[in-house]
Amino acid sequence: MKIIKVKDYQEMSRAACEMILEKVKNIKQPVLGLATGSTPEGLYRCMVQAYKGGKYSFQHVITFNLDEYLNLDQHHPNSYHFYMRKKLFDHVDIPKKNIHIPNGVAEDIVKECRRYDERIKSVGNIDIQVLGLGINGHIGFNEPGTSFTSTTHVVHLDEITRKANSKYFHNIQDVPYKAITMGIGNIMESKEILLLVSGKKKALALVKLINGEVCEQFPASILKRHKNVTIIADYDALTELI
């Protein structure tokens, strides 16, 4: 794992954007794996700026999001469909047909999971997968204990995750109990992985990832077995390591 140390959230976002734009520039049909949450918001702002600057087009880009809450309407302001439209898709020229987000309101959710896996495979897997780090080590919504070989599936959200994400809802009772997420197996099949870590609240998780053993109780630990992982971490996230 390569670790890039940066000053703060802004530098992290800019460095991540450069890596993404490099793919957008050099790959004929780049497949980007995208995350939600607070971590990648700055990255998306930088991507929008790059597009508005006129030097980049995203018309040839294909995207796959990691996850979505179960039974939350796609127009609900807390859904990841809504988040992605507001933060990125409404502001750049990625064709709608190239955008993929798990459908958390699908009638047959098992079929939806298989459809998602097949769609990722059909484009030759993800070129670069952006990840945030849950304070409990989750990647996507793969909570502690998830099998390292899992494909897209439904998860029961950990109370730690519901509490962490409750800041976006009116209160914790409104946070869904379940979500649909790409599995750890899907993530590991990505050709390259970009893990973004910012802020003191992630410092302990980052130490555990770097110094701990590879085990399913800490999902992000599997990234040590991937051959092309870059971590961009800011000083606050690195406080326990320096």
Ligand X SMILES: O=P(O)(O)OC[C@H]1O[C@](O)(CO)[C@@H](O)[C@@H]1O
For residues 60 and 226, which CB has a smaller minimum distance to ligand X in the complex?
Answer: 226
Which one is catalytic: 136, 142, 165, 186? 136
Q: Judged by CB under 6 A, which stretch of 6-14, 22-30, 32-40, 183-191 contacts ligand X?
A: 32-40
CA distances from 28 to 54, 95, 127, 238 (A): 19, 15, 11, 35
- 33 interacts with ligand X by CB under 6 A: no
Give backbone dihedrals phi and psi of 73, rounded to 5 degrees, phi first: -55, 145
Q: How far is CA 103 from CA 44, 113, 179, in A?
A: 22, 9, 10
The reply on whether position 39 binds ligand X by CB under 6 A is yes
Question: Which one, 132 or 185, has the nearer CB to ligand X?
Answer: 132
The only residue of 8, 23, 38, 226 in contact with ligand X, by rule CB under 6 A? 38
Task: Indicate if 236 belongs to the active site.
Answer: no
Structure tokens at 140: 């996507």
Q: What is the rounded distance in angstroms from the CA atom of residue 174 to the CA atom of residue 14?
A: 33
Helix axes 80-87, 41-52, angle to 10 degrees: 40
The nearest distance, CB 227 to ligand X, in angstroms, is 22
Give the nearer residue to ligand X in terms of CB position, either 24 or 194.
Answer: 194
Q: Does 36 bind ligand X (CB under 6 A)?
A: yes
Active site residue 138: yes
Contacting residue, 33, 104, 134, 183, with ligand X by CB under 6 A: 134
Q: How many CA atoms lie within 13 A of 242 on its CB side?
A: 11
Can you tell me the distance from the alpha carbon of 216 to that of 145, in angstroms, rounded to the nearest whole number?
Answer: 5
The distance of closest approach from Cβ of residue 165 to ligand X in the complex, given in angstroms and rounded to an integer, is 6
Q: Active-site residue among 143, 153, 158, 234?
A: 143
**Cα–Cα dist 221/228, whole Å:** 14
* Rounded CA separation 240/242 (Å): 6
**219 in contact with ligand X (CB under 6 A):** no
Our answer to whether residue 18 is catalytic in this structure is no
The verdict on 190 binding ligand X (CB under 6 A) reads: no
The distance in angstroms from the start CA to the end CA of the chain is: 17
Q: Which is nearer to ligand X, 60 or 162 (CB)?
A: 162
Residue 9 and residue 218: Cα distance in Å, rounded?
24
**CB-nearer residue toward ligand X: 38 or 60:** 38
Cα–Cα distances in Å, from 187 out to 72, 124, 151, 184? 24, 13, 9, 5
CB of 7 to ligand X, least distance (A): 19
Q: Is 143 a catalytic residue?
A: yes
Return the active site residues: 67, 136, 138, 143
Residues of the shown chain interacting with ligand X in the complex, contacts defined by CB under 6 A: 35-39, 66-67, 132, 134, 140-141, 165
